[in-house]
A and B are shown apart, each in its own frame.
Chain A
């Protein structure tokens, strides 16, 4: 039997805006994924450790407060250090278009900005990790 996709929805740093993270977590759950939500105020190393410990396929980071260029590359670095460099990293939230190339360069697979369709986020995630299942 196929196992379910495991996804860690994460909030990094001091960014308290969690509406998007929770909505996306729920959309994943409704799509049949196994979802773990980190809750607020997580350091990059904590999220990386949780990703390894929970053996997730995906880490989906939600950001509104503008620290994405500092904290997301740091998270990816920590994931690599812990040998979890095959985990799909997605980012969503208020991320200016100009920052997207650098984030992708750092290892983010896709960035979902404001107004993104929930079904599209789920579909993209499914298609990207299906080979792991």
Chain B
């Protein structure tokens, strides 16, 4: 009987990104693959198989749960809880007003304070946030963009109070404005001053906070907004190249700053596609950094990445099933060779996670590390006909996008023309239509629906009391600080913002004078204006 006579369940097989796959992959699919050129041993150029020779045999990935809600006190308690449970790095989630540079007592913040993350207005909040956490003992990631430089300065100020020198600090600020214009939409200022804030931060931190990752070039939000795996890969790496060019234009030597660039990708449902995506990302970045930008330091060639399981894949229906989705996605991230990982909690399609839910999410990573044996061997899927084919295909699709972006005039021009936004909106809509047609099945949503499902008890709630307390604290700060000193610091920041000086020393001065984040961002709103997008749908 020939293969053709065997019936298949469907006419076409495709995963979440809707790319058709064959039933079997063979040596002929990877006939052109050259081990030395295209893969290399782990720890060797082009790092397809991993950036370290021993990977998780040397050191496990950092287990870093993104956390933040309510006030700094509430989030500080969650941080301590996570560290007690064996988490190895911190990651701060800020609320929407903080992400957009408004203080908690701004009228626009009403109803949103502490809802989606922790509210931070002044240095006082950071002092509470990191109380009892020695900053030389943890690494801290902060997901924030236009105000990233302010948060870094608050962190430096807390380090000073703790007597920790800046060269001992390690962590990451997201600081990636391009993906905000493209997908995350927490932009404030137009591209030019936004990019200046980024290059100023890179220049300052490269010199003074040498172990800090100055930018986390992020595909996560691009993917969550609806992009396919290939789009996530291509748009993120295109953004990365743009930052490298911007920093080189600002006069920095590529090998001085490139080793501190880091990445952040989503891990979605299509298991092998995700593994291939991480492998393709490393290979593309290594080649681009060496061949296009002339980087000489191997550390400049290595793509280091954080990953987070796909929030959009979680269902509000039968939410315990999410724990299974997360486990599979986390396994793909580990097989893909990531440096740090966040696993979502099963209740996150409904609310921010409870302590119980986040513990299971963290335990999922610990189980993968301790029990499954996958961390014992580096890139165990290297050489798989299928995984290598997918890696090649994603790489080809990424290069095709690079050409289209170039033809549009580069990343910023493409943003202004709505190119990325349209590509993502189209993909999001196509996916939703596939769901409606049943062409893609999601258990509990359009397949295996449970009509007698009971609502989930014990969801985390952030009440308006947190907002009230936060506003009270910020008002107290304004009343008790040295007002003249604060005003003078803001005035000096304004002057520097109009010049081309590096802004970080001025921001640090403002932060230490207990100027609030909203006051600092307001200075820039006045000097630079605000970005407005034309919505594409």
* Given A22-B535, A118-B436, residue A14 in contact with residue B112 (CB < 8 A): yes
Q: Is the CB of B445 within 8 A of A37?
A: no
- B413 contacts chain A at the CB level, 8 A cutoff: no
- A69 contacts chain B at the CB level, 8 A cutoff: yes
- A133 contacts chain B at the CB level, 8 A cutoff: no
Residues of B within 8 A of A70 (CB): 110-112
Q: Is the CB of B533 within 8 A of A16?
A: no
Query: Which residue on B lies nearest to A21, using beta carbons?
Result: B537
- B316 contacts chain A at the CB level, 8 A cutoff: yes
Interface-lining segment among A52-60, A82-90, A109-117 = A109-117
- A18 contacts chain B at the CB level, 8 A cutoff: yes
- B386 contacts chain A at the CB level, 8 A cutoff: no
A15 to B108, CA, bound (A): 11
- B373 contacts chain A at the CB level, 8 A cutoff: no
- A104 contacts chain B at the CB level, 8 A cutoff: no
Q: Give the contact-size bracket for chain A.
A: 20 to 34
Residues of A within 8 A of B462 (CB): 66
Q: Is the CB of B96 within 8 A of A16?
A: yes
Q: Chain A interface mostly helix, strand, loop or mixed?
A: loop
Q: Is the CB of A119 within 8 A of B436?
A: yes
Q: Is the CB of B436 within 8 A of A14?
A: no
Q: Is the CB of B96 within 8 A of A94?
A: no
- Which of B393-440 touch A at CB < 8 Å? 425, 428-429, 432-433, 436
- B351 contacts chain A at the CB level, 8 A cutoff: yes
* Given A26-B425, A43-B108, A67-B115, residue A114 in contact with residue B96 (CB < 8 A): no
A115 to B112, CA, bound (A): 24
Q: Is the CB of B115 within 8 A of A65?
A: yes
Q: Is the CB of A16 within 8 A of B111?
A: no
Q: Is the CB of A113 within 8 A of B316?
A: yes
- Which of B329-359 touch A at CB < 8 Å? 349-351
Smallest distance from the beta carbon of A111 to chain B beta carbons, Å? 12
A119 to B445, CA, bound (A): 14
Q: Is the CB of A18 within 8 A of B535?
A: yes
* Given A13-B111, A119-B436, residue A39 in contact with residue B533 (CB < 8 A): yes
Residues of A within 8 A of B537 (CB): 21-23, 25-26, 37
Residues of B within 8 A of A37 (CB): 535, 537
- Which of B180-205 touch A at CB < 8 Å? 184-186
Q: Is the CB of A114 within 8 A of B432?
A: no
Residues of A within 8 A of B429 (CB): 22-23, 26-27
Query: Which residue on B lies nearest to A99, using beta carbons?
Result: B461
Q: Chain B interface mostly helix, strand, loop or mixed?
A: loop
Q: Is the CB of A15 within 8 A of B436?
A: no
Residues of B within 8 A of A22 (CB): 425, 428-429, 535-537
Smallest distance from the beta carbon of B319 to chain A beta carbons, Å? 10
Option from B96, B102, B445, B455 in Cβ contact (under 8 Å) with A15: B96
Q: Give the contact-size bracket for chain B.
A: 35 or more
A98 to B461, CA, bound (A): 11
- B147 contacts chain A at the CB level, 8 A cutoff: no
Residues of B within 8 A of A25 (CB): 537
- A50 contacts chain B at the CB level, 8 A cutoff: no
Give a binary string over B500-515; 1 marks a CB under 8 Å from any A CB, 0 the rest: 0000000000000000
Residues of B within 8 A of A39 (CB): 533-535
Q: Is the CB of A23 within 8 A of B102?
A: no
Residues of A within 8 A of B109 (CB): 14
- Which of A28-44 touch B at CB < 8 Å? 37, 39-41, 43
Q: Is the CB of A67 within 8 A of B111?
A: yes
A42 to B320, CA, bound (A): 35
Smallest distance from the beta carbon of A75 to chain B beta carbons, Å? 12
* Given A66-B115, A66-B462, A96-B459, residue A117 in contact with residue B436 (CB < 8 A): yes
Residues of A within 8 A of B112 (CB): 13-15, 65-67, 70
A54 to B442, CA, bound (A): 37
Smallest distance from the beta carbon of A12 to chain B beta carbons, Å? 9
- A131 contacts chain B at the CB level, 8 A cutoff: no
Query: Which residue on B lies nearest to A71, using beta carbons?
Result: B111
Residues of B within 8 A of A18 (CB): 185, 225, 535
Residues of A within 8 A of B116 (CB): 65-66
Smallest distance from the beta carbon of B95 to chain A beta carbons, Å? 8
Residues of A within 8 A of B276 (CB): none
Residues of B within 8 A of A117 (CB): 436, 446
Residues of B within 8 A of A97 (CB): 455
- B518 contacts chain A at the CB level, 8 A cutoff: no
Smallest distance from the beta carbon of B119 to chain A beta carbons, Å? 12
Residues of A within 8 A of B226 (CB): 19, 23
Q: Which of A69, A71, A94 has the most CB of B within 10 A?
A: A94
* Given A14-B112, A65-B115, A70-B111, residue A19 in contact with residue B349 (CB < 8 A): no
- B236 contacts chain A at the CB level, 8 A cutoff: no
Query: Which residue on B lies nearest to A13, using beta carbons?
Result: B112
A95 to B36, CA, bound (A): 52
Q: Is the CB of B533 within 8 A of A40?
A: yes
Residues of A within 8 A of B351 (CB): 94, 96
Residues of B within 8 A of A67 (CB): 96, 110-112, 115
Option from B186, B428, B446 in Cβ contact (under 8 Å) with A19: B428
- B122 contacts chain A at the CB level, 8 A cutoff: no
Option from A43, A98, A115 in Cβ contact (under 8 Å) with B315: A115
Query: Which residue on B lies nearest to A12, using beta carbons?
Result: B111
Q: Is the CB of B533 within 8 A of A13?
A: no
Q: Is the CB of B115 within 8 A of A114?
A: no
7 A–B contacts from the bound complex (CB under 8 Å):
A13-B112, A16-B99, A18-B185, A19-B428, A25-B537, A40-B533, A65-B96
Residues of B within 8 A of A (CB): 96-97, 99-100, 102, 108-112, 115-116, 184-186, 224-226, 312, 315-317, 349-351, 425, 428-429, 432-433, 436, 442, 444-446, 455, 459, 462, 533-537
Sample of 10 more A-B contacts, CB < 8 Å, known A18-B225, A23-B226, A39-B534: A13-B108, A13-B111, A14-B99, A16-B184, A23-B428, A23-B537, A40-B533, A65-B96, A115-B442, A118-B432
10 smallest CB-CB distances across A and B, nearest first, come from: A70-B111, A66-B115, A22-B537, A67-B111, A14-B96, A16-B185, A114-B316, A39-B535, A115-B445, A67-B112
